[in-house]
Amino acid sequence: MAKDIVRAKRNIRKMQVSQSKLRSVAFRLGEITSQIAIQNAMIVTTRALVSVNRTMPAKTLQSIMNRFERENMIMELNGDTISKTLEDIDDDDDEELLEEEENELVDQVLLEMGLELNKKLSTVKIPTLSSANKINHQKLSNKKSSSSSLLSTSSSFKEDDDSLLEKRLENLLSEKKN
């Protein structure tokens, strides 16, 4: 029986060695299968690259890529320039809008001043003009016609308020007469 036990232990060791060898072979077989799959993928990739090289040489492809890179840089520079220009235009538009609003406000104030003056003038009685006064009035009317463009637009802010009011008064007087 002792011989049988020793034989059984020897057989168990042999079986364990055989199992480890079988596992090693299975692992090696999986590794070889993976390498074959990689090799097949590389064959397909190589064939694809060969066909690409036949249709388009590497130098042509390189020149296309270089041209694309240059055009891309130019487009980025143009985009930056355009965005800066648009920002400048927006700033200019804001300034123009502020100037227009300022002009409208000044026009409105001048118009209100003219309306107040018209109300005051409607209550004032105008004396009849003598012949000498009529000549002076005609001279003022001639001056008024040359300055009527100034009165119609209030963009001539260089004149002082008094002269503007005097011209408006002359204009109103001549309108009332006619």
Query: Does residue 64 fall inside a structural domain?
Result: no
Query: Does residue 105 fall inside a structural domain?
Result: yes
Give percent of the chain with pLDDT exceeding 70: 68
The separation between CA 116 and the C-alpha centre of its own chain, rounded to angstroms, equals 47
Q: How many folded domains does the chain comprise?
A: 3
For residue 116, what are the domain limits?
Answer: 70-124
Query: Does residue 155 fall inside a structural domain?
Result: no
> Rounded to 5 degrees, what angle do the CA atoms 32, 34, 40 make?
105
At 22-59, the pLDDT tens digits run 999 999 999 999 999 999 999 999 999 888 888 887 78
pTM: 0.31
At 63-117, the pLDDT tens digits run 999 999 999 999 999 888 888 888 877 766 666 777 778 878 777 777 777 666 5
Contacts 24+ apart (CB under 8 A), 100-108: 103/154, 103/155, 106/154, 106/157, 107/154
Same domain for 117 and 137, yes or no, is no
d(CA 71, CA 79): 12
